[in-house]
Amino acid sequence: MSIVTIRNVEFINNPARFSDVYRFRVTFECIAPLKDDLEWKLIYVSSPGDEDLDQELDDCLVGPVPIGVNSFEFEGSAPDPSKIPSEDVLGVAALILTGSYKDQEFVRVGYYQNTEYDNDEMKETPPSQIMFERLVREISAKPRVTRFQIKWDVQPPTQGASAGAATSAAVPSANDLDGMDVDNKPPS
């Protein structure tokens, strides 16, 4: 059982220019107080066949994390164009948000990102040299969610043991969110 479950990831600036920062809000539920911070990372994958080209755009620590529904805003830098092979700039790339606790990844939320020129003429006949200042990106609304079982150092409260449970409103589970593909994987 996971102690932390993502409820929603909302991109605040989508679509945007290729060079703009990524801004989004993550909402998650925690069912037991955590002793340590959660670590979140944003990774840009331009070439799926070459992990060396993946770019960690930013990371942040969130904590202490109380029981209940929590949210935070995250801002990540745009990818470094010099680290993207020219044949992989236009078209589809991946954007991955990972959540970890004590160096154990418990969730990975992946999105497709489409990058193209900002006008029809350049889309139809791209210039020979990439003009990054003219590129726009759009992140798909349908994420792919993969959960990993990890060793949490806390136990979820037993039924009826948490104070105020009788007056708490039900919170929909991540499985109730429309448009999310979900995989559950055992620890690697």
The residue-averaged pLDDT of 20-36 equals 95
Report phi then psi at 151, rounded to 5.
-95, 105
| Neighbour-count burial of 99, counting CB atoms closer than 10 A to its CB (0-12 exposed, 13-18 middle, 19+ buried) | buried
The model carries a pTM of 0.81
Polymer length in residues for the chain: 188
Question: Per the omega criterion (within 30 degrees of 0), is the bond before 64 cis?
Answer: yes
Asked whether the predicted pLDDT for residue 150 surpasses 60, the reply is yes
pLDDT at res. 75: 95
pLDDT digits (tens, 9 = 90+) for 67-99: 999 999 999 999 999 999 999 999 999 999 999
